[in-house]
Amino acid sequence: MKTGIPHDRDLRAGLTIVALVAFSALASLVFTPFDPNAMDAAHRFALPGWPHLLGTDNFGRDILSRLAVGARFSLIVSLSTVTIGTVFGVLLGMPAGYFGGVVDEVIMRLVDALTSFPGILLALVAVTVLPSGRYTIVAALGVLFVPSFTRIARSGTLQFKDSEFAASARAFGASSFRVMFVHILPNIYPQLLSAIVVGLSNAILAESGMSYLGLGIQPPAPSWGRMLAEAQAFLFNAPWGAIAPGLAIMIAVLGFNRLGEGLRKELGL
Amino acid sequence: MSQVLSDTILRILDLRLSIRRRDGLFHAVEGLSLRVGRGEILGLVGESGCGKSLTALSVPALLPDGVERSGGKIIFDGRDLFELGTDELRSIRGGRIGMVFQEPMTSLNPLQRIGEQIEESFELHCGLTRAQRREACVDIIGKVGIPKPGLSAEEAANYYPHQLSGGLRQRVMIAIALACKPQLIIADEPTTALDVTIQAQILDLLRSINADYGCAILFISHDLGVVNELCDRVAVMYAGRIVEEGSVSNVLIHPVHEYTKGLMGSLPGRARKGQRLASIPGRVPPPGQRGSGCAFAPRCARAQNECFLALPPKVELGPNHAVWCFLADVESEMEYVRI
């Protein structure tokens, strides 16, 4: 019998961390210790302690509150990014694997072309050319995730397209579309799921990177990457300003990574 | 219908199937002709690799990648299936031709409840409402004999394939094939993967479906015992061609072709208890290594010179027995055919 607690250590650790990050992101919707954007000149560079548990930054803003709100933006951006990657990856990869031949060649060469650009450069160009805003960053990062999901969807489809149940679905009159999306897709869901979770950790890192470069969510909305960038100037006077978002990024990435790894093992891949 | 209903549901004429490989084109099926009457059970018998499964798959145009039809016609209910468009073919697959495959363990989608898989067939072909589909599904589950004490048809519909045994899964496959009351069921070795008692049950089921629904069955097998039990007529296939064809009693009781005789001789039987089973020396020549003459000649004990040079003609031994062999002597074989 299955118990509620997973046996795998990676899975347990991953679930715990992801739950923690998700909880603080959700909690920030209803409660933060301080207003994350309220400046307080009297309490600039406050040391971690009471009432500012993780201290304040150069404008006297509460770092813990900003971290919690930043978690929300990180999660929203990375979830949307990976969703885009998954949806387009599946829509491109499944027909490529299923039909093979010319369809496969065309789709996979397009995907190769996309991969051959340095990812962050492509995102930078997109952010520069397109109007800035959270949708732009999501779209720019999302495109970067399409190739890997296309490959996963393609290889999963290749694995199942000649399976007997796909053959019998065709034999009772199912269309190619139906065989792909009703019969094969649920069967490659395990591969996709663990790739999605690992993708989330990459997306968090990529989003932080973009924000660090000042290309993510626009100020004053807090984001981990920009908090890091802003604290950089005061690294030697007030290191807690950089350590907190840095640790937050590391912990979130670690959490999703472990979760993905744990799922991969749990799903027997 | 403007068309006159003939008594033939499926006619395969001079079918040629080729396998495309890197080193050339190989002919797996070379000029095969077959006829399945309405409501008839035709057995197609042959060794592994003789092309019988490809022949079966070619009927609903489901040939695997790399295999192509290089000639011939497949006429189903008066229409050449190779001339139909994709949509028409799809409505025939599952709607008017049902397929039952060899591997019940893997032929069902492991992630769908069996009820959903049966209903899918109704959804694709019959245009029933959701409630009607459910009802029809439960009905057909009952018909193919899945329910047993402690398992009602409604409960069985909610099972996943892994919760059922091989025999029950094959019944599900038959239910899917049967769902839209097809005129023809193609069963490709449906009992090979099952153990003997279950085999007998599945054969009973096929027989009762044939009687109740009047659908013809093209039954592909390498098991002559099973064919003898189930089929009305039998066609024996060797290396991509039919070598002998006729009613089961004619062909299996009085085989004329040396290959059929060899097959019959290699069956274990009470009369030969304690003796070694006979076997046919050699093996089926793979496509591409067949000579210009009779493909069986190299293994045939009675082969003459002419056998290696030209294809044997069709010899009609009677209204319900034909053989493709130079050595068939019409006069001496005539007597039993009238039985």
Contact state of A173 with B112 under an 8 Å Cβ cutoff: no
Work out the pLDDT band at B94, boundaries 50, 70, 90: confident
* Model pLDDT, residue B339: 45
- Torsion angle of alpha carbons B15, B20, B26, B27, nearest 10°? 0
Is some CB atom of chain A closer than 8 A to the CB atom of B69? no
Indicate whether B31 belongs to any domain.
no
Q: Are A260 and A78 in contact (CB under 8 A)?
A: no
- Run of H or E including B136: helix B130-143
Question: Which residues face B45 on adjacent strands?
Answer: B221, B236
Please count the helices (runs of H) and the strands (runs of E) in chain B: 12, 12
Contact state of B176 with A173 under an 8 Å Cβ cutoff: no
- Asked if residue A166 has pLDDT above 70, the reply is yes
Q: Are A10 and A261 in contact (CB under 8 A)?
A: yes
Indicate whether A29 belongs to any domain.
no
Indicate whether A222 belongs to any domain.
yes
- Asked if residue B296 has pLDDT above 80, the reply is yes
* Model pLDDT, residue B294: 86
Q: Are B146 and B117 in contact (CB under 8 A)?
A: no
- Asked if residue B297 has pLDDT above 90, the reply is no
| Helix A134-161 / helix A63-99 crossing angle, nearest 10 deg | 40
Indicate whether A139 belongs to any domain.
yes
- Asked if residue B209 has pLDDT above 80, the reply is yes
Nearest to A171 among B65, B91, B93 (CB): B93
Report DSSP state, residue B83: G
Work out the pLDDT band at B1, boundaries 50, 70, 90: very low
- Asked if residue B30 has pLDDT above 60, the reply is yes
Indicate whether A186 belongs to any domain.
yes
**Which residues in chain A touch residue B110, judged by CB atoms under 8 angstroms apart?**
165, 187
Report DSSP state, residue A56: B
Which of A89-103, B85-99, B172-186 has the highest average model confidence (pLDDT)? A89-103
Min Cα separation B148/chain A (Å): 25
What residues have CB less than 8 Å from B102, skipping those under 6 apart?
Answer: B188, B189, B190, B192, B193
Indicate whether B95 belongs to any domain.
no
Indicate whether B87 belongs to any domain.
no
Indicate whether A41 belongs to any domain.
no
Q: Is the ipTM of this complex over 0.90?
A: no
Number of domains in chain B: 1
How much is the average pLDDT of A36-55? 75
How much is the average pLDDT of A190-206? 91
Backbone angles phi, psi at B279, to 5 degrees: -135, 160
Q: Using CA coordinates, name the residue in chain B closest to A179.
A: B109
Backbone angles phi, psi at B319, to 5 degrees: -65, -25
CA dist B131 → A241, B134, B182 (Å)? 62, 5, 22
* Model pLDDT, residue A192: 92
* Model pLDDT, residue B303: 83
Burial class (CB in 10 A: 0-12, 13-18, 19+), B150: exposed
Min Cα separation B91/chain A (Å): 6
- Separation of alpha carbons B328 and B332, rounded Å: 9
Q: List the single range of A98-107, B3-12, B246-255, B288-297 with lowest mean pLDDT.
A: B3-12
pTM of the predicted protein model: 0.81
Indicate whether A76 belongs to any domain.
yes
Report DSSP state, residue B284: P
Q: Are B278 and B266 in contact (CB under 8 A)?
A: yes
Question: Which residues face B12 on adjacent strands?
Answer: B34, B74
Number of domains in chain A: 1
Indicate whether B310 belongs to any domain.
yes
**Token pair for B21:** 């490989």
Indicate whether B301 belongs to any domain.
yes
CATH number at residue A87: 1.10.3720.10
Work out the pLDDT band at A200, boundaries 50, 70, 90: very high
- Asked if residue B275 has pLDDT above 80, the reply is no
Contact state of A172 with B99 under an 8 Å Cβ cutoff: yes
Average pLDDT, rounded, for chain A: 86
Please report, as a single letter, which amino acid is at residue B200. A
**Which residues in chain A touch residue B98, judged by CB atoms under 8 angstroms apart?**
171-172
Indicate whether A244 belongs to any domain.
yes
**Which residues in chain A touch residue B108, judged by CB atoms under 8 angstroms apart?**
165, 168
- Separation of alpha carbons B196 and B202, rounded Å: 10
Dump strand ranges (E) for chain A. none
* Model pLDDT, residue B271: 67
Contact state of B94 with A173 under an 8 Å Cβ cutoff: yes
**Which residues in chain A touch residue B107, judged by CB atoms under 8 angstroms apart?**
164-165, 167-168
Indicate whether B291 belongs to any domain.
yes
Indicate whether B248 belongs to any domain.
yes
Work out the pLDDT band at B6, boundaries 50, 70, 90: low
Question: Which residues face B74 on adjacent strands?
Answer: B12
Q: Using CA coordinates, name the residue in chain A closest to B177.
A: A172
**Which residues in chain B touch residue A103, judged by CB atoms under 8 angstroms apart?**
none
Is some CB atom of chain B closer than 8 A to the CB atom of A172? yes
- Separation of alpha carbons B228 and B252, rounded Å: 7
* Model pLDDT, residue B335: 57
Nearest to A172 among B64, B110, B121 (CB): B121
Contact state of A174 with B111 under an 8 Å Cβ cutoff: no
Indicate whether A140 belongs to any domain.
yes
- Domain of A63? 56-266
Is some CB atom of chain A closer than 8 A to the CB atom of B106? yes
- Separation of alpha carbons B294 and B306, rounded Å: 9
- Domain of B251? 244-339
* Model pLDDT, residue B333: 58
How much is the average pLDDT of A92-99? 95
* Model pLDDT, residue A1: 44
Indicate whether B278 belongs to any domain.
yes
Work out the pLDDT band at B331, boundaries 50, 70, 90: low
**Which residues in chain B touch residue A174, judged by CB atoms under 8 angstroms apart?**
90, 94, 120, 124
Report DSSP state, residue A183: I
